Structure 1
Amino acid sequence: MVKELGRRLRLARVRHGDGSALPEYRPWQLFSRSLFFLDLTGDAGDSHVYAVDVRHLAEAKSRSQHEKAAGKSPAALYRDGVQIHRSNLPAVFPVPGGVVEVATSAFGLKRMRFTADDGSERTLRPHPRSQEGLRARFGERFPRTSAVVGAVSLVVLLAALAVSLLHGAEALTRVPVVAGYVGTFTSPIHLPGWAKAAMVAAGVLAAVERALRLRYNRLIDTLSS
């Protein structure tokens, strides 16, 4: 119920596009832009290619009036290369047979999927030259290595999460009121400064790697990083 209400609110925020053409993906946009595609058949049986263009550096609240008028939003939906909708993030775009849901985190995308009216879901396909496309191609060419990289990313984030929880529990029990009820707790893990910095850096890289594969878990990918 709550999920459906949130989806309706995001649909209500969608604005009409300006009819501009989909810009070509450029190499220097590798870290600032994500582009995904979806092939759908309309009610009349005609096929269309939909594209979702996400600009990670676009600020929803700080754009100038000129930029707003020009339709430069953090996310835009194109049909056959023509902009038809735009929205701030997270976004839900209406398409034939369902909606396209888009959401980002501090490390990249966390959701880029088509949700059909019957509840089925599928991930859109990334542009081959985008970060997500390059990561997907790597997974196709080297599936075993890709699986190992994914497993290492998960282990790194779980380790960072465990350390964070232990330190958080120690800090909490240092509060006199809390200590009076549950006693004090000392974390068994205390890392030197260089190790903390290395763990933070590894956690960020692991979170980015998971974002490239659109793997997101609210607990693991947020708290551990």
Structure 2
Amino acid sequence: MARWMQRINSRWAKAGDGSPLPPFRWWQLLGRSVFELPAAPGRAARYTVDVRHMGDRTDGAVRARLYRDGALAAVSKLPTAFPVEGGAIEVAVNSIGLRRCHFVPDGNRAGAHVLTPLPASAEGRRARFDRDHPAASRLIGALALAAVLIGVAVGGYELVMQLSRIPAVVDAIGVIDRPVRIPLEIGIAVGAGAVLGGIERALRLRSTWLDEFAT
């Protein structure tokens, strides 16, 4: 199934024009993700994946660009899988950021691993902070997860309350009184916390559908 999905996703890819990889600018911290797969035995080339989260200027579609030794080799809508020597690079996004940027070896999906983020990117800075301050990094990660889970709880509660107002639901189970009314200020604070928590988790490629629901 994994290989079949990989083949389906790879059909989005189109050949690149060989243009060089644009340099990373500081103002692209939250709008651009750049990950690298260095050369290794059996893979002489160095690959770079570039994703612009705001979409292309032409049509607004979010695409991944694969550079081979700094030259554009392929462009694809997402999700996608770029075949490379010894495996494939799988790339996927969600509404928060990058969800997947992994190298998957041929015949060993369990050996998949995340590509190395560009040090200047937001993901690279987050990874460096994790290496330099592991205890603080774990604390921030725990707080981010807590913010997302609180956002899921509040969002789920509000969703249930809204669904309970549908006439068909009222006819089936009757009117449900709202047991707790969440003040607007608390709702805004929870939403902002969920967004920040989701962004932090996306920088570590750990965001899931829960993060999207919470935000």
Residue 117 of structure 2 aligns to which amino acid in structure 1? P
- Residue 54 to residue 151, structure 1, CA distance change in 2 (3 Å): same
Report the TM-score when normalising by structure 2: 0.89
Report the TM-score when normalising by structure 1: 0.86
Matches of 1:73 and 1:223, distance apart in 2: 20
Matches of 2:178 and 2:156, distance apart in 1: 9
Determine whether 1:215 maps to 2:215. no
Residue 139 of structure 2 aligns to which amino acid in structure 1? V
- Residue 58 to residue 37, structure 1, CA distance change in 2 (3 Å): same
Partner of 1:48, secondary structure, is coil
CA deviations 1:50-96 (Å, max 9, x no partner) are: 11011122238716xxxxxxxx9731111111111111222211111
Partner of 2:37, secondary structure, is strand
What's the offset of the Cα at 1:163? 1.4
Residue 55 of structure 2 aligns to which amino acid in structure 1? A
Contact 1:60 1:74 in 2 (8 A): no
In structure 1, the residue matched to 2:33 is: 34
Determine whether 1:170 maps to 2:161. yes
Residue 132 of structure 1 aligns to which amino acid in structure 2? E
Is 125-134 or 192-201 further displaced after alignment? 192-201
Partner of 2:19, secondary structure, is coil
Q: Which of 65, 82, 91 is equivalent to 2:71?
A: 82
What's the offset of the Cα at 1:170? 2.0
Sequence identity (%):
38
Determine whether 1:49 maps to 2:60. no
CA RMSD of superposed structures (Å): 2.2
Partner of 1:128, secondary structure, is coil
Aligned residues: 213
What's the offset of the Cα at 1:32? 2.1
- Residue 61 to residue 186, structure 1, CA distance change in 2 (3 Å): farther
What's the offset of the Cα at 1:109? 0.7
Partner of 1:47, secondary structure, is coil
Determine whether 1:193 maps to 2:172. no
* Gaps in structure 1 of 5+ consecutive residues: 64-71
Residue 140 of structure 1 aligns to which amino acid in structure 2? R
Residue 73 of structure 2 aligns to which amino acid in structure 1? I
- Residue 145 to residue 188, structure 1, CA distance change in 2 (3 Å): farther
Contact 2:117 2:123 in 1 (8 A): yes
Contact 2:79 2:91 in 1 (8 A): yes
Determine whether 1:104 maps to 2:93. yes
Task: Name segments (4+ residues, structure 1) moved above 4 Å.
Answer: none
